[in-house]
Structure 1
Amino acid sequence: MSFLKFILKNPFRRKNSAILAIVGIAIGIIVIVALGGITEGLINTFEDTIHAGGADFTVSGKETGDSAYGTNTISSNWTEKIANVSGVDEAFPIYVVLTSVGDDYMNTLIGIDPNGTALADISMKEGRIFEDNSSEAILGEIYAEDNNYSVGDTIDIDRQEFKVVGIYQTGDQNMAGGVFTSISKVGDLMDDEDSISNIYVKVNKGEDPQTVADRIDSQYGDNITTVTSVMEMTQMADMLNMLQASTWAISLLAIVVGGLGIINTMLMSVFERTREIGVLKAVGWSNGKILTMIVGESLVITIVSAIIGSLIGFVACTLLGPLIGMEPLFTPKIFIQAFAIAIVVGIIGGIYPALKAVRLPPTEALRYE
């Protein structure tokens, strides 16, 4: 039997000890992978939200309300006021409502000027953009696929018939399941032509979006609020840092707990194999080879734990995440971190027992019963 096969098989000669060690370390890896996926998913969702559209930032109502964005709707005349602020290139209002769409009792309907769709970060997959103030709509690719709609079909929106003139795609998963039409038509449907939900704002080339947003706040901050990526990142930084710190804290805990577990397992292995180690030394095995064998066996256990823990963490998060409203995102970095921790635990957990084995005098080891 080769030296490598010897190392791979040895840890599983004592199955109960090996299984307990693997379970203990795998639990830590599961938590690391799950927390990593959730953290990355939250960051990704957050960035998708604040960068929604080609807009540099958005303007919304100041007070909490019952609109689709959780704020009060604002008067449509705010669009002109915002457009006239120095540094603003374009300002397009949107009106987001929840209403009956097709067979859905409640779905997201987004009204916008056809010329402002570029700021909503959507691109046409099929068909064309709707015309202003027409009974035409474009559907998100997810909504269209789920409900078997295609260009040329008709769809009922709030009990009125609209023609599907296009299918759009977007990087925003929330919008991918929605429907766009002219903002004037949404105003008609809601019998509220003077209200809007938000305003998408694009600044002039060379302007700093945060500076323009601050300018708007200084003029109109008592009535409206601006939402920029810089502001949102500042507000969210503490929460994201806490999540990432938690991941690293649990990683450290996994190293400590896993290291103690593997040390105990390998010490028991050395104790039970004292005579075997003496025989190996007697037949010419060097101290370096004995040390490599023990550390190698420790690494085998921790790497198996990393594989099992990573798979369980990935599957559990993927299946359970959507049920609790979370979309985990798994990047190579998460799994690299998990395996790096497993390797560190394996090395740390194997060195002390290996040194104990190396220090065993061959003559005493051979007499051991």
Structure 2
Amino acid sequence: MLKFAIKNLLSRSVRSFLCLMGLTIAIAGMVGLFSIAGGLEETVSQTFGKISGIVAMQPGAPIPLFSRIPRAWGAEIKDVPGVAIVNPEIWSRVNLIEGKPVISPPRFLFGTDLPTRLELKHGIYREAIYEGRFLTLEDRGTLNTVISRQIAEQHEKQIGDQIEVNGQTMNIVGLYESGSILLDVAIILDIEVVREITRFDPESVSCFYIEQSGEIGNDELVEKIKDQFRGRELASWQPTALALANSSNTNLLQDFITAIDDALKGNTPTEKNSASKAGQGDSKAAISDLKIEKTEAESAESALEVRSASDWGERLDTFTADLDIFLGLMTGIGVLIAMLSIINTMLMSVMERVVDFGILKANGWSDRDVMLLITAESSLLGVLGGVLGGILGLIAIAVVNWKFASQVHLYASPGLLLFGVVFSTLLGVLGGLYPAIWTTRMTPIDAIRRG
């Protein structure tokens, strides 16, 4: 049966080849599209696998770049049981390197507090140094910097060279390579130097990197830090927050928005003052109000968002789940076209061989035998299409990863490739099912007469 099916396909080689190519391209496209989500998962998993500490930042901010929190809160975090070291960080986007605009891949100025950074047991960038040295206390207040291998190779720099970033000439003292495209984007400097270059608010930082003492687990420590700042006032990050961050009128705008919010809630300044005076005259009411305030404080959201590696992973799972839905819809278009191509190819093949099938049935072939033959032919196309599509997808992924190594990382897991082959085979079976059923409905005499 299998040899007969192969012979039939080869007898119509052009039509079979075109059908096979349509299915191959559809499966290759599916592998390529889903490798985007796979690459994102692998990159983030690889990245946060290197980060043993936790990060405290502004609620709602997607990454530390957009976060703004009070600098003084670092001392309070340090006093939380289970916290060993608190390292303040400032992140800012790089706009120009060597006088050329930086668009893609993005680059960032990373300002870190050197005394606390050097105390960390596990410093990601410090441990990734492959040439030169990491920053020391002597580099405070200087334009000495450590950059990634990607940045150095892109701008043809090495140890001892100078690099112009956002109009500032910096001295390269070290090169690092972490192996993650999410980490190999930083130009590392003393935090106060970055603050001065970017005119960052003197009383704020982007985030705090927290190293644990090991006394308690990560989840418990995260909750303790959140509880420390529960009920505090710190606006959640909004898309417009970055533009307003350095505005001299930020406080006025915040006051204006707060006033609007109070007005919508019906809490006018007069009502607040009246409630305060009334409370002074009634001790029982004051105690009741105190209990209410305490309950509200306990249930209030924390002014800090504290994330561990597992938290980032959960956020990524949510994002990739949505991404997979979108990619699935995009892939569905190509798969539908491929399936219609198989149905068309098999139907034309069957119609051309109506007499052959009639003669076979007249010589003892059952309807089941005819269906098996046609299904075997379409299944072969499906299997070959899946295998060739997987190979073509892997080649395309390798080319993209090589050509855009610093910008994107695609990854097709063995499970994805296996799914591609199985799915393609299933498409082949379904594509040949209708022509097979159509053929079995004819009697041998009808088939011969039709021919």
Q: Could you state the TM-score of these two structures normalised by the residue count of structure 2? A: 0.64
- For residue 298 of structure 1, report the CA deviation from its aligned partner: 0.6
Among 157, 165, 182, the alignment partner of 1:149 is 157
CA contact (8 A) 1:266 1:350 kept: yes
Distance, in Å, in 2 between the alignment partners of 1:157 and 1:241 is 38
Distance, in Å, in 1 between the alignment partners of 2:374 and 2:111 is 67
CA contact (8 A) 1:294 1:350 kept: yes
Residue matched to 1:70: 66
**1:60 is matched by which residue type in structure 2?**
M
Per-residue displacement from partner, 1:284-323 (whole Å, max 9, x unpaired)? 878776554322321233345446655379749976997x
Q: How does 1:180-219 map to 2 (within 5 A)?
A: 180-187=188-195, 189-190=197-198, 195-205=204-214, 207-219=216-228
Per-residue displacement from partner, 1:159-208 (whole Å, max 9, x unpaired)? 55543222111133143132213334434545666543211112232632
Among 17, 38, 61, the alignment partner of 2:58 is 61
CA contact (8 A) 2:52 2:309 kept: no
Q: How does 1:31-46 map to 2 (within 5 A)?
A: 32-46=30-44
Among 96, 109, 132, the alignment partner of 2:91 is 96
Per-residue displacement from partner, 1:16-44 (whole Å, max 9, x unpaired)? 86577557645753553344123223434
Among 168, 176, 180, the alignment partner of 1:172 is 180
Residue matched to 2:381: 301
**2:122 is matched by which residue type in structure 1?**
A
The CA RMSD measured in Å over matched residues stands at: 4.3
Which segment drifts farther, 326-335 or 130-139?
A: 326-335
Distance, in Å, in 1 between the alignment partners of 2:376 and 2:224 is 63
Which segment drifts farther, 188-197 or 30-39?
A: 188-197
Distance, in Å, in 2 between the alignment partners of 1:26 and 1:357 is 27
CA contact (8 A) 1:131 1:182 kept: no
CA contact (8 A) 1:255 1:344 kept: no
CA contact (8 A) 2:397 2:410 kept: no
> By percentage of residues, which structure has more strand?
1
Larger of the two Rg values belongs to structure: 2
Distance, in Å, in 1 between the alignment partners of 2:59 and 2:323 is 29
- For residue 142 of structure 1, report the CA deviation from its aligned partner: 0.5
Residue matched to 2:111: 111
Q: Gaps (5+ residues) in structure 1?
A: none
Q: Secondary structure, in 3 states, of the residue corresponding to 2:214? A: coil
- For residue 80 of structure 1, report the CA deviation from its aligned partner: 2.4
Q: Gaps (5+ residues) in structure 2?
A: 235-303
Which segment drifts farther, 132-141 or 274-283?
A: 274-283
- For residue 141 of structure 1, report the CA deviation from its aligned partner: 0.9
Per-residue displacement from partner, 1:39-78 (whole Å, max 9, x unpaired)? 22343455466x285243211235869x971122532x33
Pick closer, same or farther for the CA change 1:104–1:206 going to 2, 3 Å.
farther
Residue matched to 1:84: 79
Pick closer, same or farther for the CA change 1:147–1:257 going to 2, 3 Å.
closer
Q: How does 1:1-369 map to 2 (within 5 A)?
A: 4=3, 7-8=5-6, 10-11=8-9, 13=11, 18=16, 21-22=19-20, 25=23, 28-29=26-27, 32-47=30-45, 51=48, 54-62=51-59, 69-72=65-68, 74-75=70-71, 77-99=72-94, 100-104=96-100, 107-112=107-112, 113=114, 114-115=117-118, 116=120, 118-120=122-124, 123-134=128-139, 135=142, 136-157=144-165, 161-187=169-195, 189-190=197-198, 195-205=204-214, 207-221=216-230, 222=232, 223=234, 224-245=304-325, 262-263=342-343, 265-279=345-359, 290-306=370-386, 311=392, 315=396, 327-351=409-433, 353-354=435-436, 365=447, 369=451
**2:308 is matched by which residue type in structure 1?**
T
Distance, in Å, in 2 between the alignment partners of 1:64 and 1:350 is 52
- For residue 143 of structure 1, report the CA deviation from its aligned partner: 0.6
Pick closer, same or farther for the CA change 1:169–1:354 going to 2, 3 Å.
same
CA contact (8 A) 1:111 1:186 kept: yes
Pick closer, same or farther for the CA change 1:149–1:3 going to 2, 3 Å.
same
Q: Percent identity?
A: 22
Distance, in Å, in 2 between the alignment partners of 1:264 and 1:219 is 67
Q: Secondary structure, in 3 states, of the residue corresponding to 1:173? A: coil
Per-residue displacement from partner, 1:217-266 (whole Å, max 9, x unpaired)? 11114343223344444555444333335556777887777556534542
Q: Secondary structure, in 3 states, of the residue corresponding to 1:118? A: coil
**2:428 is matched by which residue type in structure 1?**
G
Pick closer, same or farther for the CA change 1:177–1:104 going to 2, 3 Å.
farther
Distance, in Å, in 2 between the alignment partners of 1:346 and 1:166 is 56
CA contact (8 A) 1:31 1:313 kept: no
CA contact (8 A) 2:68 2:205 kept: no
**2:68 is matched by which residue type in structure 1?**
N
CA contact (8 A) 1:132 1:184 kept: no
Q: Secondary structure, in 3 states, of the residue corresponding to 1:130? A: coil
Which segment drifts farther, 328-337 or 7-16?
A: 7-16
Q: Secondary structure, in 3 states, of the residue corresponding to 2:183? A: helix
Q: Could you state the TM-score of these two structures normalised by the residue count of structure 1? A: 0.76
* Number of residue pairs matched by the alignment: 362
**1:277 is matched by which residue type in structure 2?**
F
